[in-house]
Structure 1
Amino acid sequence: MPRMRPIPAIGQARGVSSPDARDVSAVLAFVARVEETQWLRDVDGFVSLLAPQAVWTTAFGRQIVGAPAIHAFTAAVLPNLFRDFQALYDVERITFLHADVVAVNVRQIPVDAEGNRRPGEDEGRPLYILRRHDGAWRIVVAQNTTHQNEKIAAQQRAVDEATSGETHAHE
């Protein structure tokens, strides 16, 4: 039975017409395909989702340029280093930047082979920039960021402290 996925927020840049429901469905299906290729350790299937000139930045900050280089990297890590890692991909937001360009924010949830949340592992927060070419969406830029709860909370406390002084100074 397919799992229920959350409904993502949909946005659009100024001047971009409202997205068509078919485009939203196609983007959701695209991200589901990314998830599937990762689960299957399908390097060729994954790389087929990239534009030839794609730029990929890993969660650790390594930048890889071009589908051939991304293929070589993925072939080395996906079936070997990440063989025990699985993740569910939930699209949180789709922003249409142009009729043929979208930004897709994804929540990447680490799970075991049965789909149960893996405690103690950080989630990922990939951002994919997709471009439609000849009717098919392809990743042109991807940035995966590790979601670090403690550092985010510390950052927010610092922001709150910095802005609370500003509020009092203007009263």
Structure 2
Amino acid sequence: MTTEPSRLAIAQVIADAVEFQNDVDRFIPLHTEEVNIVNFGGRRVSGLDALTEAMRQALATPLADVATTVDVEKIRFLRDDVALVSCVKHVVDRRGSAATEDPAAALPATAGQLTYVMVEQDGRWRIASAQTTPIRT
């Protein structure tokens, strides 16, 4: 049976992921070794090494000025140690007008449906999978 402490711990990992979105060294440990991410633009990244490299590359570009917040809508436990978390991601583009006027640099939307699969390993909740689907308005 799942407990309120598990829900609070999961919500804290998600809050930490938002807080550390521009800090590779603090963001990466929130994930499992075999993490699978599909980002807002549809790019799939698998494994901690690939995620670390993708983050370092993105943060070296104007994408570092694109910030997100996340609202957790529902946490559903598939097992005591596995949770499916439904969220809404909000995107704020703080890049200058030169970046935002380039059609190739345009964001697909300003919000997305974000789904996490979270697993408990060694007493800590971690992100095993995340996928964001843009919400078209």
Fold-level similarity (TM above 0.5): yes
Identify the structure with the greater strand proportion: 2
Instruction: Say whether residues 1:31 and 2:31 are aligned partners.
Output: no
Counterpart in 2 of 1:122? 110
User: Given the two structures, how large is their TM-score scaled by the length of structure 2?
Assistant: 0.82
**Aligned AA for 1:36?**
E
Residue 79 (structure 1) shift: 4.5
Counterpart in 1 of 2:119? 131
After the TM superposition, which residues 51-62 of structure 1 pair with which residues of structure 2 at under 5 Å, given as runs?
Answer: 51-62=32-43
Instruction: Say whether residues 1:90 and 2:75 are aligned partners.
Output: no
**Aligned AA for 1:22?**
P
Structure 2: runs of 5+ lacking an equivalent: 95-108
Counterpart in 2 of 1:161? none
Residue 33 (structure 1) shift: 0.3
| Deviations 1:86-142 (CA, angstroms, capped at 9, x unpaired) | 1221101111110000011111112477xxxxxxx5202211101000011111111
Counterpart in 1 of 2:23? 42
Counterpart in 1 of 2:130? 142
Structure 1: runs of 5+ lacking an equivalent: 1-16, 114-120, 150-171
1:110 to 86, 91, 94: 91
Mapped partners of 1:75, 1:144: distance in 2: 20
- Which structure: larger Rg? 1
Higher relative contact order (CA 8 A, sep 6+): 2
Mapped partners of 1:93, 1:73: distance in 2: 28
| Deviations 1:29-68 (CA, angstroms, capped at 9, x unpaired) | 1110011011xx1012111111011111112222111100
Q: Secondary structure at the match of 1:45?
A: helix
How much identity, in percent, do the aligned residues show? 29
Mapped partners of 1:147, 1:134: distance in 2: 35
Mapped partners of 2:68, 2:129: distance in 1: 20
Kindly report structure 1 stretches of 4+ aligned residues shifted beyond 6 Å.
none
Considering only aligned residues, what root-mean-square deviation do their CA atoms show, in Å? 1.8
